[in-house]
Amino acid sequence: MQQMSNQQREKRFVAASSVVAAVFLTGTKLAVGLISGSLGILAEAAHSGLDLVAAGFTLFAVRASDRPADEAHMYGHGKIENLSALAETLLLFATCIWVIYEAVRRLLLFSVEVDASFWAFLIMAVSIVVDVSRSRALMRVAKKYNSQALEADALHFSTDVWSSLVVIAGLAMVRYGEATGRKSGFVRADAIAALVVAVIVMQVSVRLGRRTVDALLDRAPKGLAGRLSAAASQVAGVRRLSRMRVRNAGSQVFVDCTVEVPRHLSFEESHAVTREVQNAVQAVACGADVVVHTVPVAENEGLLETIQAVAAGEHLAVHNVTTHWTQRGIWVDLDLEVDPKLSFERAHALASSLAARLRSELPAGEFGTSIADIKVHIEPQPKEFAMGADIEPSEAARFVTRIEGIGRELGHARGCSDIELHKVKDKVYLSLQLQIDAARPIAEVHEIAEDMEARLRREFPQLGRIVIHTEPY
């Protein structure tokens, strides 16, 4: 919030400074133009007068556009900056038409005595200094905060420098004609200079008008969509970028994109991909408002990924998924968790539906051979909380002694630690840490843990849940 407040203050300060400069230049140019009779200076005075109006529009625009979004303007008020730039363009065109009309009259119908005095040259020199200073200040803040209204003002005032130089050139020609006694040959140089000023301003107006209309019509900034697409496509987990849309509203950039992600990803994993895409986009378009839509797709999936994705698509929880191959094909076994209160008929229907869906998603030959059979074992979902109690010390000591002995007997295992025993319902809950050689492959580590569990169940039939946490040593 503090950063946004600093942005508002800086934008408003340079906009207000531009208004003050426009008031000063308009007044001084008008006075000197009337005294000297220079159409070039009067054209510049009119130009500065419109600069004052345009600067006022810009000040209003930057103040209004920073207001937060509301129910009527859900994308904020940034378009006010674009409307301000359009109004500035229309004013510039009106000025050009008047200057061209007056210059043609002086060239073709009558001439006006021009006093190319020291004051005329001085005010134009001061105008150049002021325009250079404010155009640089405006452009710096415009680039910093991506403000089209301030950028339009900066571009406008930078061209004012060139038009002022043209006016000075016209005055210099008049002065030269007076000094050489050939005043009649250069008396119209001031009107010609005014025409050149008008042409320069019209060129700027066309550029500003085109950019403003593009912004109002939501034309994407040139090349930005491509850069954003390239950045988003590099995010891990993105299979393909299927849509990228970009629009500007004043200084705010809005990005709407659709990315395809593997369908086996969980909601949390898919959301993590979304955040990474947002970060990648904002690294290119700083401060952009980014909306990312993820579409799950089935591409380059393995057998287990397909099974998990199908179950997730049916909103079913499965675990203990195993597969094996024989000459008859692929055998799939899995446990399906259902609500304990569900009727057997309904639970069996869910299992049958899941098996049928898996058969349709795992067509014959997809994984090198056909599907031989799919077995779905139905299990009630465990309760989130079950009351447990410590077992008798003598019974616990008997468990611990034998558990430690089994841990030492396993190959590549160093022993057990952190053994916990609880009585949960009619079963004994057991958790332990099993230390295994760190150099063993993870598949072998898993087999050792399964061997440990199998031996424990043979010796202690009363065991229920067994949790073996493997630790490397």
66 vs 389: CA distance, rounded Å: 61
Task: Supply the DSSP string of 45-89, one letter for each residue.
Answer: HHHHHHHHHHHHHHHHHHHHHTSPP-SS-TT-STHHHHHHHHHHH
pLDDT in tens, 143-161: 776 666 677 667 666 766 7
Name all domains of the chain by residue range, CATH numbers in brackets.
2-216 (1.20.1510.10), 224-297 (3.30.70.1350), 303-380 (3.30.70.1350), 388-472 (3.30.70.1350)
Distances, alpha carbon 320 to alpha carbons 162, 176, 394, 402, in Å: 77, 98, 34, 27
Q: What number is the average pLDDT over the span 36-61? A: 69
Residues 236-255 as b/e (b if ≥16 CB within 10 A, e otherwise) read ebbbebeebebbbbbbbbbb
> Across-strand partners of 323?
332
Q: Is the pTM of this model over 0.85?
A: no
Tell me, what's the pLDDT at 335?
Answer: 93
Helix axes 148-180, 39-65, angle to 10 degrees: 170
Angle of helix 39-65 versus helix 118-145 axis, rounded to 10: 20
Query: In this predicted structure, which of 112-126, 267-281, 424-438 has the lowest mean pLDDT?
Result: 112-126
211 touches 269 (CB < 8 A): no
C-alpha distances in Å from residue 286, one per residue of 66, 106, 282 = 17, 52, 5
Consecutive H or E run containing 143:
helix 118-145
Distance between CA atoms of 376 and 389, rounded to whole angstroms?
Answer: 33
Distance of alpha carbon 142 from alpha carbon 136, whole angstroms = 10
Element housing 369 (H / E):
none
**Which of the residue ranges 20-24, 74-78, 267-271, 409-413 would you say has the lowest mean pLDDT?**
74-78
Q: What is the pLDDT of residues 19-31, one digit of tens each?
A: 787 787 778 778 7
Q: What is the DSSP letter of 317?
A: E
Above 90 in pLDDT, residue 451?
yes
- Mean pLDDT of the 130-145 span: 77
- Decide if pLDDT at 427 tops 50: yes
CA angle at 177 for the pair 171 and 178, rounded to the nearest 5°: 90
Which residues contact residue 182 at a Cβ distance below 8 angstroms, ignoring those fewer than 6 apart? none
Q: Any alpha helices (H) in 314-441, and if so which ranges?
A: 344-361, 393-409
- Amino acid 418: pLDDT: 92
pLDDT at 368 over 70: no
According to DSSP, the residues that pair with 243 across neighbouring strands are: 258
Coil, helix or strand at residue 366: coil
Under the banding of pLDDT at 50, 70 and 90, the label for residue 219 is confident
The two structure tokens encoding residue 360: 């349709």
Query: Mean of the pLDDT values across residues 376-392?
Result: 81
pLDDT at 181 (0 to 100): 64
Helix (H) or strand (E) holding 315: none
Look at residue 116 and give its three-state secondary structure.
coil
CA-atom Rg of the chain in angstroms: 39
Listing DSSP states for 215-234 in one string gives HHTTPPPTTHHHHHHHHHHT
**pLDDT tens string 220-275:** 677 888 899 999 999 988 988 988 988 877 667 889 999 998 887 778 888 999 99
Torsion of CA 218, 149, 197, 158, to 10 degrees: -120
Helix (H, G, I), strand (E, B) or coil at 97: helix
CB 65 within 8 A of CB 76: yes
Tell me the average pLDDT across 277-294. 89
Q: Measuring CA to CA, which residue among 47, 282, 309 is closest to residue 164?
A: 47
Cβ–Cβ under 8 Å, residues 301 and 309:
yes
Helix (H, G, I), strand (E, B) or coil at 261: strand
